[in-house]
Amino acid sequence: MTCTSLNTKDELKTMYKYALNHICCLVKLGAKVVLGVDVRTMLDDARINHQQYDVIVFNQPYTGVFGKDCNVEVIKENKALINDFLAYSSKMLNDVKGVIHLSTKSGEPYDLLDVRGLANKNGLVVRKEMKFPLKDYPFYINKRGFGPRADDTYPLQPSSTFVLGIRGSSAALRQ
């Protein structure tokens, strides 16, 4: 398993009280932790681009643009982030069985992110859409991620997880 974060070790230490403890636990469990990974440049990142992945997970993507979630600029920026993530991560998938799990808040205004449309635009199909499976992440605690309240949580539900496969692959056809 490879775990990535946009933030550097110093940023994580400053923003999140238990970040370094969590990273140590992941490493002890055998995960590779790679920090400072931007989805918009990850194809050029030698630390992660050397292999194809069976599963790529991105939970609650957010650009850090300040403003209310219903703000047109916030929606536009987050939609662009998701589009770029799908464009680049789809190139890192195992063509035969690879899938992407993308979780976002659901309902208004989050449905304006149009995950289905962005998936289609990037050669992906939605295999499944389900309520975010919090039980699959036993120690998951969502965080705001940016600003002076970065370590604060926010209401996670309602959230949906989209399971996406490359159009025409066996992963996209399987249900």
Place of tokens 């047109």: 72
With 60 as the cut, is the pLDDT of residue 174 above it?
no
- Residue range of the domain that includes 12: 1-37
Shared domain for 137 and 68, answered yes or no, is yes
Q: In what order do the strands lie in the sheet with 55-59?
A: 55-59, 99-105, 159-166, 124-131
Asked if the structure places residue 119 within a domain, the reply is yes
Shared domain for 29 and 100, answered yes or no, is no
Asked if the structure places residue 133 within a domain, the reply is yes
Both tokens of 92, joined, read 């890192």
The pLDDT, as a whole number, for residue 143 is 64
Shared domain for 72 and 156, answered yes or no, is yes
Asked if the structure places residue 45 within a domain, the reply is no
Shared domain for 81 and 125, answered yes or no, is yes
The distance between the two most distant Cα atoms of the chain, rounded to a whole number of Å, is 45
**Domains: count for the chain:** 2
Asked if the structure places residue 89 within a domain, the reply is yes
Instruction: Residue 27: count other Cβ atoms within 10 Å of its Cβ.
Output: 12
Asked if the structure places residue 43 within a domain, the reply is no
Q: Distance of alpha carbon 48 from its chain centroid, rounded? A: 15
- Per 3-state DSSP, the chain is made up of helix, strand and coil in percentages (nearest 5) of 35, 20, 45
pLDDT tens digits, residue range 108-166?
Answer: 998 999 999 999 999 999 999 999 887 887 776 676 666 676 666 666 678 899 999 99
The pLDDT, as a whole number, for residue 66 is 66
Asked if the structure places residue 46 within a domain, the reply is no
Shared domain for 91 and 7, answered yes or no, is no
The pTM of this model reads 0.84
Shared domain for 114 and 59, answered yes or no, is yes
